[in-house]
Structure formats: C-alpha cells, structure tokens
Chains A and B, each alone.
Chain A
Amino acid sequence: MKVHMIVRPMLMLLLVVSFMVAGCQGVTPPPTGESPPNQEVTAPGGGEETSPQEDPRATPRNETLYVNGLQWGAPTNFNLLSGNPAFPINYGNSRELIYETLFMVNQLTGELEPLLGTKYEWTDDLTLRVELHPEAKWSDGQPFTSDDVVYTYKLGQRYDINWSNFWTYIEEVSADGEHAVDIMLNKDNPNKLTVLDSIELIPMLPKHVWEEIEQQAGGDLATIRKEINDDPIGTGPYKMYYYNDQKITIVRDDNYWGQVLFGKLPAPKYITHVIYKDNAAGDLAFKSGQVDVSQQFIPQVWKMWEDGAPVKTYLKEEPYYVPGSMPSIFFNMSKEGLDNPDVRRAIAMSIDYGKISELAISGYSAPMQPSLTLNTDAESKYVDQAAIKPLQWTTDVEAANALLDSIGAARGKDGIRVLNGVRLGPYEIECPYGWSDWNAALEIVAQNAKAIGVEIRTKFPEAPVWTNNLQTGKFDIIMNTPAGGVSPSQPWNRAQTIMYSKGVAPIGEMAFWNWGRYQNDRADAIIEKIPTVTDEAELKALYTELTQIWLNDIPSIPLMYRPWVFDTVNETVWKGFPQEGDGSNIPPQISMDGAGIKALYQIHN
C-alpha cells in the first residue's frame, strides 16, 4: 500500500519532468489566434534533405518555392466543400493558386483587382454586374464561363458550405451571355458591401467536374464531403503534383490562361508547403533557408537578419507587418460598474498598449490610435482623423485616476474604488488558454487596472468554454477579434460586429456579434445606412460620426493591431519579394493570396 502511495506521486513527478522535456523540444501552441493542432507528424524532410534516390518526386531547389504556416497536420482532402481542405485549397487562405476568385483583394489599398472577372459595376441599386475574362479556361482545357460562376454561387444556396452566408444578401445569380454575370441583391437586405466580399472570396469551381460529383453523391452533402479531389481542376496557374503527410507540392501549369493577363508565367515551377510539427520547427527551417515564405508567428523576427539570415518583412521598420485586425476587449454592458462609460474610459486610459505590443507580439503592433478603423491607408481614409482626435485616449494613468475621482469613485481600504456603492471589481477578463499573445495582453490589462483601483482578474478557460461565454454574454470583460481580415466590407463589417444591436439575442442566448449587448439607436441607423451609400464624402461623414459614438461609449477597447497574415520571406534562393516603397503595390499576402500572388511573377533566383 505504501509503495502505491509513493509510486503515484513519483509518476506525477515523472509527468512534470516529461512536460519540461517536451517543452525543451518546443511542443507549445504557437502564439497565434489560429493555433495549429499539434499533430504528431514525422520529421519533415526539407527540400535539400530528400535526395532524388529516396524521393522520385523531389523537385529542384532553385525551381521550388517553399512555404510554411498554412497547413498543420497531414492533408486529408482537397475538396473545397469538405469544410477542411488542405493547402492550397483552404478557403480564403491561399486563394489564387489552383482555384481562382473573380477578383483579387489588395490589402494595401482595399481595392479589388481583376482576375477571372475583368470589371464589376452596379447597374442599378440592386444589381452587380461582373464581366468575365473571355480567355479564361480550366486546367483541363475547358473554357471558363458564366455558367461556372452561377453554378459555384448556387452551391452555396443548395448546401451549407463556406459561402452560404452570402445568400442572406443575394436574391439570385444569373448568366448574361457567356462572359457576364448579374448578382441580384436581396431587396429586404441589400448589403452591397457583403456582396462585394463574395467576388473576392468565393473560389470558382468547374461546373463540368462538380456536377458529376454531385450527381454521383445524389445531392447529399455528407457524401460530397467525402470526395478527396486529389487532382483538383481549377483555373489557377498551378496543378497538384504530389502530397504526403509531410509536404504538399503543386506544379506550374504551363498552359495557364492568365499569361494573357500577367504577361508571363509565375517564376517558381513548383510550390511546396512543408508540414512542420510546430511553430518552433517551422521557424528554425525558415531561418536556415529551407523555407522561402513563412506564414508563422516568428518572435523577434529582427534577430534573424541581425544574425545574418537574408530575411525580410514587408515593412523594414517596426511594426514589420501590415496590420489586418484589432483584437479587442468587450465589456458586458449590463455589469454594474462596467456600465459606466467613464469607468470604461478610465480602464482604456490605464492600459499600457506599448507594453502589450512589446511583450505579447514582439512589437509587431504599431502605437494604438483607438478608432473603428485600422491605421492603414485602406481604412483610415474613411474617418476624419482631426474630428476624432479629441476623443481618442492614450495611456495616462494619472488622468484615468483623476477621471475616476471626478465621478466620485473613491478608493476603499483595499485600494479598490467604490462607485455609488458598487465595488469596481473583481471583474473577470477572459480569453482561451494557450493563445499566448492574448493571454499576455490580458495579464497586462489586469495589472494595469490595479493602478487605477479597478480589480480585474484574468481567466483562461478552454476555447469552447470561452466561445460559449462570449456568445451567451456570460462574462464581465472578454477578448475577441471583431471581424478580422481585409475585405471590401471593412471597416463596416468591424463596426457592425462591435456596435450593431439588432438581431442580437439577450444575455443567456447566443449572439454572434456585439457580444457585450451594446445598444445605441443612432449607431444602428448609421450601420444600416453605410452599405447603401456610395458617395465618398457622405461615407466619411457617417464613419466619422459612428467612430465618435464608439469613442464616447467605449463598448470595446482594441488592445493591439495584429497582422492579417505573418508574411516573412527568406531570400536565400528566391529574391525580389515585394517590400514597402518598392513601387510595386503588391501586398504582403504570402505571395499567393489575393493580389499578393503578383509577387510570384516578380521574384527570381
């Protein structure tokens, strides 16, 4: 018996030790919001390591572009309708390699650039007309026509797939001849912005291929999802070449129709995505030049070039990456104490945003300028910066304390303030465990709040618990990213996610935006109006007013700017990747997503 009592603690000691050892190998969740599952994959063979004898499908290093960070774990299928297709089919991720979208979004300008579509225009208030490139064709030689576009859109109407949500706003999609399509908006919900998202997001599928698959499956989505589609037919410049558990390689289609559009073929003959075990393994391979383009969070990336590696980020100086989203904290507007906008403002002023940027994401966040818009050219043009300036907060603990003093929130014996009989805390602030940059940010917020006499405690539950708390409103303060990503519907989409109160279920039931249940009639009216307005001056006035309301009411506080994708390149083999100020206007979208794919035509050995 005694032996058992000793053995058990010994086992636990062993467990602790084994964690430490595991830690030394770097098995930790990468500090990104989209944490890759730590699947056990055998050590990846980098390009140089696999000799031709071992792997008949090995590709020459100087003809192959190596990528990481877009695929974690072995690929299971290349079927867009399956819900979890592997690189490069994954939805909205590496968009223009095999399947293409009608237009390519450019993160730098927010504009849509022509690809399969040549131009789009609103022929009336409810109709978007898209003209298609007459020379576009599928990799099996069949022409790409309006039938394919209509078919692809309607897949989303028939089945519950990635682009089904657009059908909330779309009434009908119809062909107008071979090379034009009309997208009719839903009269009850005419949201032009969201429909514009669809033309840069939905990958075009060949009707002649998928109709057959659909027929064989008898129209049953569950059966269609089982299709592996290991040789996808797309319009894009690449075709599937080879894949296994460690890598996925695609090969250039030398008959690519887009030569008429781009003037030539993309430079790399092959693109290989190497599947690494975790962030640390991927970072190491990238640093040593085994990977050319990395979409991984690399802590202190500047150390790589200081150490002499030919590594580049899009911006030469801090914050190195172009911002794409604003992870924020949301207040539960019904919590006593937090329902006071002055308390929320004081908390906003107490937060050390510089420290969050430095400690949580290696300084990749530019100085915080609170607004509904990102501090990019594509978004900041929507708001009159001078008009919102007086309302924007900066880190100022003294002023925050003075503000709380002025509203009569006096400090109790324990140093925590009491406002009208309500003790300001303990409030719980939460985000999922293991999202390390967020965990760090919240620890800093909690620590900062102490200095103004507000007690905030961190809480890091498992992700499903956090999701449930978020949607049902069972939180005091909670962290989430309001509408991340870059698309034509920004910044409206973000504003809607933060402030729109219609259709938001009461606390206790599920809400999918405005988690804190903020309510402002004027804000609702503006949010409803913006998608119908095209006049730029009017848009700017509306966005400015909305931002002023947000800055006054503070339903959320952005904690950092986060890149949309971490686009870092190593120029050991491939050179000439776009960088800020090179005049190319090619956005840092990992050289293969949206307008970022233009980089593939620019790079060289």
Chain B
Amino acid sequence: MNHSVRILLKSPKFMLGAVLLLLMIGVVMIYPLINRNDPLEMIALAYQPPDSKLLLGSDNFGRDLFLELIYGIRTSLQVGLIAGVFATAIGLVIGLASGYIGGMIDNLLTAVTNIFIVIPSFVILILISVSIDSRSSFVTAAIIGITSWPWTARAVRAQTSSLRNRDHVNIAKISGYSTPRIIMYEILPYIASYVVMAFVLQMASGILAEASISMLGLGPYNTISLGIIMNWALVFEAPVAGAWWAFIPAALSIAVITFSLYMMNTGMDEIFNPKIRS
C-alpha cells in the first residue's frame, strides 16, 4: 500500500489533479471563515459587474457571486462525495456478491445491473427529482448515487469472478474461512485500486449530474450549488444582459473540479493498470 502511494506521488498527472483539488478544498474551507457574510444576503443591485468590492460582481438578486461561488463549490464537492460514496458502495456490494457467489444470484444481480445500464440514468434522475416533494442536497446526492452504480458493479463483478478461482482464494476456502472474510481479505485488496479509481470517477460524474439537474431546475432547494448559480443566471437571462460573471465562473469551477478528478484518475490508471504501466 505504502509503496503504491509513493509511486502515485511521483505521477505528475495525479499530483496535478490532487494539488488542484486540495487547493480548491482549501479555499472553500478557509474563505468562509474570513468572510462571514451570508451568501444569500442581497447586498447590491442586480447584475453588478465585478469590481474591487464584489470580486465576481452580483447575481440577479444582488448577491455577492464570489461568496456564492465558494459556497457553491463546497456544496458541489459534498454532493459529489456523497454520490460517489453511494454509487461506489452499492456497485461494490453488488459486484462482489454476484462475482463471488455466482450461480443464480449472479444471474439475478447481473440482470438487474444490465437493466439499470440500459435505462439512461439521467432520465431516472429527472423522474425521481420531479416526484419527490422535498429535496435537500443530501437527498439529491443520494439519488445521483443510486442511479449511477451499475458500471462499477459490472467491473467489480468481472474482476471478482476472475479472482475467485485463484489459488489463494481456494486455499482460504479449504481452510474454512467464512465468505465475508474471504471477500474482505482475499479479494478486496486486489481490486482496491480499481475501487478507488471508480470512486474518483463517480465523484466527478456526481458533480456533473448535480449541475445538470440543477440547471433544469430540479436541484436541491435552499442551498447554493454551482448548478443552481447557473440556473438562476439562465432563468434571469444573464446571457442576454451580458452578465457573463453570473455563469462563466461557475461553469469554469465545474470544469476545474472535474478536470482535477480526471487527472487523478488517469494518473492512478497509469500506475495500477498493468497494461499501461511501463
């Protein structure tokens, strides 16, 4: 494990992604401690251009967009994290179960996974978001997670079913270890690197899914996320008013976050994937 981490730290791609992400997390954690204003407070006129006081101008409600952006990034990261945890956890459990146990359960779980794969998850996401009455950012994140696990499940299942016939697993079986213990100690370590990579990707796609759904007006209520900032900008015709500051910074932030996560993923891939590893 330590060895892997040391190799990772030498990967320029991974480091670039990680530094960008940490920098961003640092800023969004620290800035609200310095500027203690309420990001929802309407302090200026609508669509004021950026100046020395309002670093990114104001939105349609006259709110400080820089402050909103900071809180927005925070919410988006949280949503991505929660969605990633949900998606990875569900995918992992289903993938491990169907890959290791096999037989009927495998057929059944694979069928369910395939069904989820063929239905576009974004459509499900929209339908669920429309139908639920109260949407917090946690609920939205959970829905995103619940609709985006199938590819992880599939990959984990494939790797598990190839692992289960290896010698060390057979020895563990003969030694009378219980199934959970075998999965835990004999299989999981071999796919751990893949799981971490899947998690990073799920997190990135979770952030994008939140932005997409918020732009449709189906995002969480009573919070600020990057998607919600852009949604208000669209509803109040910021592009027509020439208020680029109302949506470009938010769009850029999404791009930077997902870029950094993808860079981390690619960096890890180069190290953990034996086919690519040089």
Distance A444 CA – B41 CA, assembled complex (angstroms):
9
Q: Which residue from A4, A299, A359 sits with its C-beta under 8 Å from B42? A: A359
With an 8 A cutoff between CB atoms, is B66 at the interface? Answer: no
Minimum CB–CB distance for B172 against chain A, Å: 27
With an 8 A cutoff between CB atoms, is A576 at the interface? Answer: no
With an 8 A cutoff between CB atoms, is A13 at the interface? Answer: yes
Knowing A9-B205, A28-B235 are in contact, say whether A16-B215 is a contact too (CB < 8 A).
yes
Knowing A12-B208, A13-B258 are in contact, say whether A447-B40 is a contact too (CB < 8 A).
yes
With an 8 A cutoff between CB atoms, is B130 at the interface? Answer: yes
With an 8 A cutoff between CB atoms, is B221 at the interface? Answer: yes
Distance A19 CA – B215 CA, assembled complex (angstroms):
8
Knowing A23-B234, A23-B239, A460-B221 are in contact, say whether A447-B41 is a contact too (CB < 8 A).
yes
Q: Which residue from A19, A280, A299, A457 sits with its C-beta under 8 Å from B222? A: A457
* B60–A359 CB distance below 8 A: yes
Knowing A23-B247, A444-B61 are in contact, say whether A439-B235 is a contact too (CB < 8 A).
yes
* A8–B237 CB distance below 8 A: no
* A12–B209 CB distance below 8 A: yes
With an 8 A cutoff between CB atoms, is B154 at the interface? Answer: yes
* A26–B239 CB distance below 8 A: yes
- Chain A residues whose CB sits within 8 angstroms of the CB of B40 once the complex forms: 443, 447
Distance A26 CA – B235 CA, assembled complex (angstroms):
9
- Chain B residues whose CB sits within 8 angstroms of the CB of A4 once the complex forms: 151
Knowing A23-B234, A28-B235, A460-B217 are in contact, say whether A359-B62 is a contact too (CB < 8 A).
yes
Distance A440 CA – B42 CA, assembled complex (angstroms):
11
With an 8 A cutoff between CB atoms, is B119 at the interface? Answer: no
- Chain B residues whose CB sits within 8 angstroms of the CB of A20 once the complex forms: 230, 239, 247, 251
With an 8 A cutoff between CB atoms, is A458 at the interface? Answer: yes
Interface positions, chain B 190-226, Cβ under 8 Å from A, are 198, 201-202, 204-205, 208-209, 211-212, 215, 217, 221-222
* B239–A433 CB distance below 8 A: no
Shortest Cβ distance from A1 into B: residue? B155
With an 8 A cutoff between CB atoms, is A40 at the interface? Answer: no
* A461–B133 CB distance below 8 A: yes
* B208–A280 CB distance below 8 A: no
Distance A458 CA – B198 CA, assembled complex (angstroms):
35
Interface positions, chain A 335-375, Cβ under 8 Å from B, are 355, 358-359
Interface size on B, residues (CB 8 A): 50
Minimum CB–CB distance for B106 against chain A, Å: 17
Q: What is the 8 Å Cβ interface bit string for chain A, positions 1-24, against chain B (1 contact, 0 not)? A: 110111011001101110110011
* A29–B235 CB distance below 8 A: yes
* A19–B234 CB distance below 8 A: yes
With an 8 A cutoff between CB atoms, is B134 at the interface? Answer: yes
Distance A23 CA – B231 CA, assembled complex (angstroms):
10
- Chain A residues whose CB sits within 8 angstroms of the CB of B222 once the complex forms: 446, 457-459
Indicate the size class of the contact surface on chain A. 35 or more
Distance A359 CA – B241 CA, assembled complex (angstroms):
14
Minimum CB–CB distance for B128 against chain A, Å: 13
With an 8 A cutoff between CB atoms, is B93 at the interface? Answer: no
Shortest Cβ distance from B203 into A: residue? A9
With an 8 A cutoff between CB atoms, is A436 at the interface? Answer: yes
What is the total of A-B residue contacts with beta carbons within 8 Å?
A: 111
Knowing A1-B151, A28-B235 are in contact, say whether A8-B254 is a contact too (CB < 8 A).
no
With an 8 A cutoff between CB atoms, is A46 at the interface? Answer: no
- Chain A residues whose CB sits within 8 angstroms of the CB of B212 once the complex forms: 12, 15-16, 19
With an 8 A cutoff between CB atoms, is B33 at the interface? Answer: no
With an 8 A cutoff between CB atoms, is A462 at the interface? Answer: yes
Q: What is the 8 Å Cβ interface bit string for chain B, positions 236-250, against chain A (1 contact, 0 not)? A: 111111000001000
- Chain B residues whose CB sits within 8 angstroms of the CB of A13 once the complex forms: 208, 254-255, 258
With an 8 A cutoff between CB atoms, is A484 at the interface? Answer: no
Distance A459 CA – B60 CA, assembled complex (angstroms):
18
With an 8 A cutoff between CB atoms, is B122 at the interface? Answer: yes
Distance A360 CA – B243 CA, assembled complex (angstroms):
17
- Chain B residues whose CB sits within 8 angstroms of the CB of A358 once the complex forms: 46
Knowing A434-B217, A457-B221, A461-B133 are in contact, say whether A299-B208 is a contact too (CB < 8 A).
no
With an 8 A cutoff between CB atoms, is B262 at the interface? Answer: yes
Q: Which residue from B38, B62, B211, B233 sits with its C-beta under 8 Å from A16? A: B211
Q: Which residue from B130, B215, B235, B251 sits with its C-beta under 8 Å from A436? A: B235
- Chain A residues whose CB sits within 8 angstroms of the CB of B233 once the complex forms: 23
Minimum CB–CB distance for A309 against chain B, Å: 16
Q: What is the 8 Å Cβ interface bit string for chain B, positions 113-155, against chain A (1 contact, 0 not)? A: 0000000011000000010011000000000000010011011
Distance A446 CA – B63 CA, assembled complex (angstroms):
14
* B237–A12 CB distance below 8 A: no
Minimum CB–CB distance for A273 against chain B, Å: 23
Q: What is the 8 Å Cβ interface bit string for chain A, positions 263-280, against chain B (1 contact, 0 not)? A: 000000000000000001
Shortest Cβ distance from A464 into B: residue? B130
- Chain B residues whose CB sits within 8 angstroms of the CB of A16 once the complex forms: 208, 211-212, 215, 227, 230, 251, 254
* B61–A440 CB distance below 8 A: yes
Shortest Cβ distance from B154 into A: residue? A1
Distance A468 CA – B258 CA, assembled complex (angstroms):
39
- Chain A residues whose CB sits within 8 angstroms of the CB of B154 once the complex forms: 1
Distance A70 CA – B151 CA, assembled complex (angstroms):
49
Can you give 16 A-B contacts (C-beta < 8 A)?
Answer: A6-B262, A8-B205, A12-B211, A12-B212, A13-B254, A19-B234, A23-B238, A29-B235, A355-B42, A359-B46, A359-B62, A436-B235, A440-B61, A458-B222, A459-B222, A465-B133
| Additional A-B contacts beyond A4-B151, A9-B204, A439-B235 (7; CB < 8 A) | A16-B208, A16-B215, A23-B239, A29-B235, A358-B46, A436-B236, A462-B130
The 7 A-B residue pairs with the shortest CB-CB distance in the complex, in nearest-first order: A9-B205, A12-B208, A23-B234, A24-B239, A433-B217, A457-B222, A436-B235
